[in-house]
Chain A
Amino acid sequence: MTNLIASLQAHLRTVVVLCFVLLGLVAGSSLLIDTHHAHTWVEQHVPFFWSFFGFGAAAVIIGVARWFGRSGIQAPTDFYARPTSTPCEED
């Protein structure tokens, strides 16, 4: 398995092209699937809906997490040990 992964890493460009082809096939095949049993209107009528949803949801989550982290949630590792962060550490 290690050799296989090393070989894939060595042919990264081919792997990336293959992945794009695969994605295209997955998205394209969704047009052939019967969507009558889908729960909502958008699933039934918007082509490639779940492709858009997957990409959009991932992008939104990355964006929100980055904004949240940068807004002060991500703190230095010694945050709770720093003298100014907590009054109980002052002494």
Chain B
Amino acid sequence: MASSFIHPSLLLILGALLLPFIQGPLRKPYLFLVPFLALCAVVLNTSLTGNFATISFLDWHLVLGRVDKLSTVFALIMALMAVLGTLYGLHVDRAGEHMAAWFYAAGSLGVIYSGDYLSLFLFWEMMAFSSVFLIWFRRGKQSLPVGYRYLLIHTIGGIILLAGILLRYQAVGNITFDLMDVAHPQLYTWLIMIGFGLNAAMVPLHSWLPEAYSEASFNGAVFLCAFTTKTAVYALARSCAGMDLLVVLGVTMALYGVIYAVMENDIRKLLAWSIVSQVGYMVAGIGIGTDLAINGAVAHAVVHILYKSLLFMGTGSVLYMTGKTKFTELGGLFGKMPATFFFTLIGCLSISAAPCFAAYVSKSMIITAGFESHLNWASWLLMLGATGTFMYNGLKLPYFLFFGPNNCSQETWQRAGDPSWNMLIAMTLGSTLCLLVGIAPGFLYALLPYNVDYSPYTLYHLAETLQLLGFAALAFFLLKKYVEPLDRICLDVDWLYRRAGCGFLWLVKVPLQWGDTAWGEAYRVVGLSSLMTLSGFWSWFDWHAIDGVVDGIARSVRSLGGKVRILQSGQIQLTLYYAFSLAAILFVTFIFFRLL
């Protein structure tokens, strides 16, 4: 049984390492084959339950293949996403970009299948260090600094997570990755939650996301939008389900993302803010912690990956074809990019939870779970967020991008058009899945961790949704002059850490540098001259005292030697004279001492 488990990460890593050697006409089939094999491996693993690929390392028991319903549903959607993402970027020549994407997907699948914190941490870091290349590969003016900021934040998150893991190991004595005692949280519980929460873009640890995802390459963003946050959602669902604070954080994320998305001028940054908001629903669901809420969070994670990747594919196509991402430089594109418009619209309706589209079957599960758990305030605020989601994503994005005022320059307008066949196929598949899940959610519900007793297609839910969407649309069109995009950036909490970073730089450059210079000057004036005086004294002492003694002895020996040399003249009468004289002196001295 154990041998039947195939780790999809292994296939992706091996595939990535071999990729540079696959050239020419074989490249594209190979690009499709590797993630497809990884998906096949995940599908085969769905028939298993239990721990596989276990390794004993030092005193620890590492589990690389924990297969249960929670890991299976996440692994399936991640592997599917690897296929769709690679298909979308099939025409990208740079092997490095595909390698980074596959290592990233492998890291995510590794985390999902990990049964212990050590292997989880290694795969976690693999995700961070591979995904940054998806930002750098855009090679834009800001790509490098944005990538470094992304890496810095994730490194800090990784350190916090590692600290939590180590403290937990000290307290519990094992590294098993399972549900923590969230009713009695310890320091390590908070640290692990924060480590996961940073990757889930929890407010206020979220500002890396809009910045990085809007700066990524056109196909890199398709990968980024799926893996990091949803892997973190999986990790939170596994370890922190039922943690009350997560409800507050989730609702905050849902609303915070909405407000910023409404203000945003960059189409991909708008979608990035939308991730913050949508992941908020999942985090809130995990915080509620009931079976329905966890099912809702997982279902929403799955459909979110489908529609968000579709939306990033649509906006990525706009970027790829026109080179522009700002509403104030685009507009009126529906005639030039009809297929892109159509697929993007499906994504927009899916995220808006319109009936028959993906999020309709998942978002309401979380909100219903909130009401059933008597967390009415949370459910009402999530409903408010859902209305906002429809407004910025279902209305603002398609209206100002494909209709509305045409702000395209002549060059942009000429470049605009539907993208290549592989990008269209990827968007077709994504759209089909969004519709399939929305129309027939049964197969999604069958994959969820708990038994589902929920039907989204009730008359009441349908009427509620249609009213909500219809009248929100009315408000949007009556008030749309107030949401018209402006060519401005939105300051976020990253302002604080940019200021903190600049403050630190100022601290180093001004007071510390001044102190260092002053110390150097003081050393030069006081220390160095004292040292020179002291050295002069020791030089004098050395010359006159030490050398005087040593040289004096040497000179005395030399002088004595000169004298003794005369004795050895070779004349026998002189030698006898000196010998007898010396003997006489010795004899007289002896007699003298005896007499005394």
A-to-B contact residues, CB < 8 Å: 1-2, 5-6, 22-23, 26-27, 29-30, 33-35, 37-40, 43, 48, 50-66, 68-69, 72-77, 79-80, 86-89, 91
Which residues does chain B contribute within 8 Å of A2, judged by CB atoms? 334-335, 338
CA distance A79 to B338 in the complex (A): 36
Which residues does chain A contribute within 8 Å of B23, judged by CB atoms? none
Which residues does chain A contribute within 8 Å of B506, judged by CB atoms? 87-88
CB-nearest residue of chain A to B339: A1
User: B330 to nearest A CB, angstroms?
Assistant: 16
Question: Which of B459, B486, B502 touches A33 (beta carbons < 8 Å)?
Answer: B459
CB-nearest residue of chain A to B336: A2
One digit per residue, 1 when the CB lies within 8 angstroms of any chain A CB and 0 when it does not, for chain B 377-394 equals 001000110011001000
B544 contacts the other chain (CB 8 A): no
Question: Which of A30, A52, A62 touches B483 (beta carbons < 8 Å)?
Answer: A62
* Prevailing SS type, chain B contact patch: helix
B171 contacts the other chain (CB 8 A): no
B592 contacts the other chain (CB 8 A): no
- Given contacts A53-B471, A61-B259, A88-B505, 7 further A-B pairs with CB under 8 A are A30-B464, A50-B471, A51-B471, A68-B263, A69-B263, A73-B491, A86-B498
Question: Which of B470, B503, B505 touches A51 (beta carbons < 8 Å)?
Answer: B470
Question: Which of B258, B259, B472, B487 touches A54 (beta carbons < 8 Å)?
Answer: B472
User: A60 to nearest B CB, angstroms?
Assistant: 7
A61-B388, A79-B491, A86-B498 known; A55 and B474 CB under 8 Å? yes
Which residues does chain B contribute within 8 Å of A89, judged by CB atoms? 502
| B68-108 interface with A by 8 A CB criterion | none
Total count of chain B residues near the partner, CB < 8 A: 50
Question: Which of A34, A48, A91 touches B467 (beta carbons < 8 Å)?
Answer: A48
Which residues does chain B contribute within 8 Å of A6, judged by CB atoms? 335
Which residues does chain A contribute within 8 Å of B371, judged by CB atoms? 39-40
One digit per residue, 1 when the CB lies within 8 angstroms of any chain A CB and 0 when it does not, for chain B 15-50 equals 000000000000000000000000000000000000
CA distance A58 to B482 in the complex (A): 12
CB-nearest residue of chain A to B395: A58
A1-B342, A57-B387, A61-B388 known; A50 and B467 CB under 8 Å? yes
A1-B342, A86-B502, A88-B506 known; A61 and B384 CB under 8 Å? yes
B463 contacts the other chain (CB 8 A): yes
CB pair A59–B342 under 8 Å, yes or no, is no
User: A7 to nearest B CB, angstroms?
Assistant: 13
Question: Which of A23, A38, A61, A86 touches B471 (beta carbons < 8 Å)?
Answer: A23
CB pair B383–A30 under 8 Å, yes or no, is no
CB pair B475–A55 under 8 Å, yes or no, is yes
CB pair B490–A34 under 8 Å, yes or no, is no
Can you sample 27 A-B contacts with CB below 8 Å?
A: A1-B342, A2-B335, A5-B334, A5-B335, A22-B470, A26-B470, A27-B467, A33-B460, A39-B379, A50-B468, A50-B471, A54-B472, A55-B474, A58-B475, A58-B479, A61-B258, A62-B479, A66-B482, A68-B263, A74-B488, A75-B488, A75-B491, A76-B488, A77-B488, A86-B502, A87-B502, A87-B503
CB pair B263–A37 under 8 Å, yes or no, is no
User: B308 to nearest A CB, angstroms?
Assistant: 20
User: A89 to nearest B CB, angstroms?
Assistant: 8
A37-B458, A69-B490, A75-B488 known; A50 and B482 CB under 8 Å? no
CB pair A59–B489 under 8 Å, yes or no, is no
CB pair B391–A74 under 8 Å, yes or no, is no
CA distance A58 to B479 in the complex (A): 9
Which residues does chain A contribute within 8 Å of B499, judged by CB atoms? 86
CA distance A51 to B463 in the complex (A): 10
CA distance A18 to B34 in the complex (A): 50
CA distance A33 to B459 in the complex (A): 7
CB-nearest residue of chain A to B334: A5
Which residues does chain A contribute within 8 Å of B460, judged by CB atoms? 33-35, 37-38
B501 contacts the other chain (CB 8 A): yes
CA distance A48 to B366 in the complex (A): 23
